[in-house]
Amino acid sequence: MNVKYINPFLSSSIRVIEAMMQVKPSVGQVALLSVDSRGDSLLLRIGICGQFQGDVVFNFPHQVALRIGSALMGGYPVSELDDMCCSAIAELGNMISGNASTMLYNEGIQVDITPPDIVSDHSFYARKKAITIPLDLSDIGNFNIHMFAPGL
């Protein structure tokens, strides 16, 4: 996968998380890895279509998803991944992907995104190879952004 497709998601993730959660994420080593999808993770999928096609899957460990949901809801305590928490996390993924698609458009790459979708069947992505962007949100925890495209 060309770095010109990866960098907008990386930049957008940092900007959106800083703006929405007041946390500066640190980025780990971007690599082609098999997806480790534990049953307790929340997977959020956003499809990419146009000149670049594939899926972006945000992989949040359960406790990290709860902390992110709480941060996105102004610190409101969150103890379960209910509809409100999942909606807040889906909107975070939507904002990151929408911002990245705008960056791609500004580089002359026409893309569109699908609405965010919480993945209930983790087996579809289990052990598939993806470009993986690890993000560390300090006290909140770590999560991965997986980019799937044909040919990986």
Using only C-alpha atoms, what is the Rg of the chain? 14
**Residues whose CB falls within 8 Å of the CB of residue 7, separated by 6 or more in sequence, listed in order:** none
Residue 21 Cα distances to 32, 49, 58, 125, angstroms: 28, 28, 16, 28
Q: What are phi and psi of 125, to 5 degrees?
A: -100, -15
Q: Residue 151: is its pLDDT beyond 70?
A: no
CB 144 within 8 A of CB 133: yes
Nearest to 21 by CA among 79, 73, 56: 73
Kindly state the average pLDDT of the residues 4-16.
92
Tens digits of residue pLDDT in 42-96 = 999 999 999 989 999 999 999 999 999 999 998 888 999 999 999 999 999 999 9
Where do the structural domains in the chain lie, given as residue ranges? 3-19+40-148
The CATH number, out of the four listed (3.40.225.10, 3.50.50.60, 3.40.1550.10, 3.30.390.10), of the domain defined by the range 3-19+40-148: 3.40.1550.10
Of the two residues 111 and 150, the one the predictor is more confident about is 111
Angle between helix 62-72 and helix 3-21 axes, rounded to 10 deg: 60
When pLDDT is cut at 50, 70 and 90, the band that residue 4 belongs to is confident
Does the reported pTM lie above 0.85? yes
* Cα(39)–Cα(25) distance, integer angstroms: 25
Res 152: pLDDT: 52
DSSP bridge partners of 144: 59, 134
Residue 83 Cα distances to 44, 55, 71, 140, angstroms: 13, 23, 16, 20
Between 78-82, 116-120, 124-128, 142-146, the lowest mean confidence (pLDDT) is in: 124-128
